[in-house]
Amino acid sequence: MEIKPPADRMKEAWIELYSDYKTDQLKNFIWELDKVKSEMELPPQEPDWYKDVVVYSMYVDMFNNDFKGLTEKLDYLEGLGVNCLWLLPILDSPMKDAGFDISDYRSIRPALLNLPDDSTQKEREDAFGAFLKQAAKKKIKVIFDIAINHTSDQHHWFREARKSPDNPYRDYYIWSQDTALYKDARIIFEGLCESNWEKDGDWYFFHRFFEFQPDLNYRNPEVLLEMSRNMLYWLKFGVDGFRADAIPYLWKEDGTTCENLPQTHTVVQFIRAVLDYIRPNTLLLAEACQKPKEVVKYFGQGNECHAGYHFPLMPQMFKALSKQSKEPVIKVLSPDITPEIPEGSQWFTFLRCHDELSLELVYVTEEDRKYIHDNYCKVPEWDFRKGQGISARLANLLDNDPRKIGLAYSMMLSLPGTPVIYYGDEFGKTNDEAYYREMIKLTGKDDTRFLVRGKIDWDFLEQELNNRESYSWKVYDQISNMINIRKQQSSFGKGDIQYIDIQNDKNKLLNEVFAYYRSHGHEQILVINNLCEKDIVIKMPSHKLTKLKKDILGHSIKINKQDETILLPSLSYYWILV
């Protein structure tokens, strides 16, 4: 399907959303876009660049204090092998929800820039621009979070809106004296919030997340234009893309669940057209905690988001490790659950992130939720939202076992999609109890997701990484090796997958061995993951392996040429160039 020019797509989306409004606003906005485009000197992005990267997700302050500290660690990140940074919220915020409560879309928190609170906008722009230039020198892309569903209650728009019903900004948000509206919208933070309505004087305002995060009203075209302008502001600096937080909830319609509505997709189409108009191939990444069949709708026909997170894959990888069976992963990636996506689209995959190991019934069954919770929620403090998730880092979930961590990453880095590494997981960082207690005092919320955040102790880490017998080194060495090898093979980011059955030396099929070919062009890679905690002898899956001594990761392969078998040590993995 041929995609229409961006200006045409903007006009179509506008008419669909705002047929009662004149088109003068849109004409003026397109004139603004032309002016911005004429002032920009940035070339178009490479098509599909987001398929060939390994993403590193971080809080700048948790990683190394500020952007100056981050710049100092670009060599570390380059050595690790990552070539795209996903900066978790960096914009101005009261920090009640880790920065997802934005109070100014066009200003970075001055502390992150090592600047005083009274620093000028120019000083902030220069400091951030200097970081982007250094990242570009390392050929590291940069994307960051922008929450487009809601703002902080400290945002200028909302401070004005709450002054009176007649205020021009009142209609930027959703106000009512009737809290029966939108009653079918679920409470997302169940156990942390009692309602989607918060009283403010004689009125109530609507919110899907915390009560200090009022939802924006996209029925007002000015909201859509202003949010588009916010993205344009950062495009001028050379930002490579945006993670659109909480994207399924943008449009509200009474009598519906207020999720994944057709108008929400139209809003996203407008934003994508704006980005395409200014700098084609600027990444728009959908954060949609939904079933894959809903997430793929945010790719549209190549006219919405370029990529989206595959949330259901994460818990199924943990289930596969616990059950020592490939079936959970094969099932979740089957066409019945994961539909095909447009050619230019991509899944983003991850083992852990800044949130909980999510077990929402949106994409797991009651049976799966109970199984995963029973096997991985090892202490009551890790429980999140009454069994709907587990707040724990990868190392904690996998018993601080470098073999299990390496095996989990072998799956994630070799399965289809663009992989995301959560900061600290590459060396086995564990839950931060002190940070969790500190944030409860600061926010007044017993939000166990704070366990999976916290700062990196670089002095300690450097000692650990200089000791090849240390736990941190054993984790880091495996993951860094896999990332750097992965980048050399096009099959992982762009290739097809073909599962293969593995038999033992007695011709029995082994579900505990997860094997598949990844292929792209003339390249073919055989991946073998032994999910079992014991050594297994398997029949050689290909006669081409007879003379093989090592895989592309440098692992020695124990082959018996006489009976054509391979010995797989417990929890081992191999990537073999066929």
* CATH label of the domain that carries residue 169: 3.90.400.10
In a domain, 451, yes or no: no
Give the three-state DSSP class for 556.
strand
Q: Residue 494: is it exposed, middle or buried by C-beta count within 10 angstroms (0-12/13-18/19+)?
A: middle
Q: Which of 92, 215, 245, 447 is catalytic?
A: 245
Structural domain boundaries enclosing 160: 152-215
Q: How far is residue 138's CA from residue 125's CA, in Å, rounded to a whole number? A: 20
Q: How many domains does the chain have?
A: 2
Give the three-state DSSP class for 470.
coil
DSSP string, 74-139: HHHHHHHT--EEEE---EE---TTTT-S-SEEEEE-GGGGT--TT--HHHHHHHHHHHHHHHHHTT
In a domain, 141, yes or no: no
Q: Summarize pLDDT for 23-58 with one digit per residue, the tens.
A: 889 999 999 999 999 998 888 899 999 999 999 999
In a domain, 525, yes or no: yes
- State the average pLDDT for the chain: 94
Helix (H) or strand (E) holding 185: none
In a domain, 27, yes or no: no
In a domain, 384, yes or no: no
Q: Describe the crossing of helices 262-278 and 24-39 by its angle, rounded to 10 degrees.
A: 40
Q: What Rg value do the Cα atoms of the chain yield, rounded?
A: 24
255 pLDDT more than 70: yes
In a domain, 167, yes or no: yes
451 pLDDT more than 70: yes
Domain boundary among 215, 231, 247: 215
Nearest in space to 61 (alpha carbons), one of 109, 127, 130, 117: 109
In a domain, 200, yes or no: yes
Q: How far is residue 214's CA from residue 158's CA, in Å, rounded to a whole number? A: 8
Q: How far is residue 351's CA from residue 380's CA, in Å, rounded to a whole number? A: 21
Q: What is the dihedral of CA 181, 183, 185, 191, to 10 degrees?
A: 120
430 pLDDT more than 80: yes
546 pLDDT more than 90: no
470 pLDDT more than 90: yes
Here the CATH number for the domain that contains residue 525 is: 2.60.40.1180
Q: How far is residue 475's CA from residue 366's CA, in Å, rounded to a whole number? A: 33
pLDDT score of 1: 62
Nearest in space to 280 (alpha carbons), one of 241, 226, 234: 241
Number of neighbours of residue 491 by Cβ within 10 angstroms: 22
Q: Which of 145, 240, 287, 383 is catalytic?
A: 287
Q: Summarize pLDDT for 356-383 with one digit per residue, the tens.
A: 999 988 888 999 999 999 999 999 989 9
273 pLDDT more than 90: yes
In a domain, 473, yes or no: no
Residue with tokens 């999910």: 531
Region 552-561 average pLDDT: 94
Cβ neighbours of residue 222 under 8 Å, at least 6 residues apart?
A: 25, 171, 172
Q: Is 198 a catalytic residue?
A: no
Q: How far is residue 186's CA from residue 207's CA, in Å, rounded to a whole number? A: 11
Domain boundary among 160, 188, 215: 215
Domain boundary among 215, 233, 263: 215
Give the three-state DSSP class for 298.
helix
DSSP bridge partners of 550 = 556
Given a contact cutoff of 8 angstroms between Cβ atoms, the answer to whether 68 and 87 are in contact is no
Helix (H) or strand (E) holding 510: none
Q: Summarize pLDDT for 79-136 with one digit per residue, the tens.
A: 999 999 999 999 999 998 889 999 999 999 999 999 999 999 999 999 999 999 999 9
Q: Which amino acid, one-letter code, is at 511?
A: N
Given a contact cutoff of 8 angstroms between Cβ atoms, the answer to whether 570 and 403 are in contact is yes
327 pLDDT more than 70: yes
Q: Is 245 a catalytic residue?
A: yes
527 pLDDT more than 90: yes
Q: What percent of the chain has pLDDT over 70?
A: 100
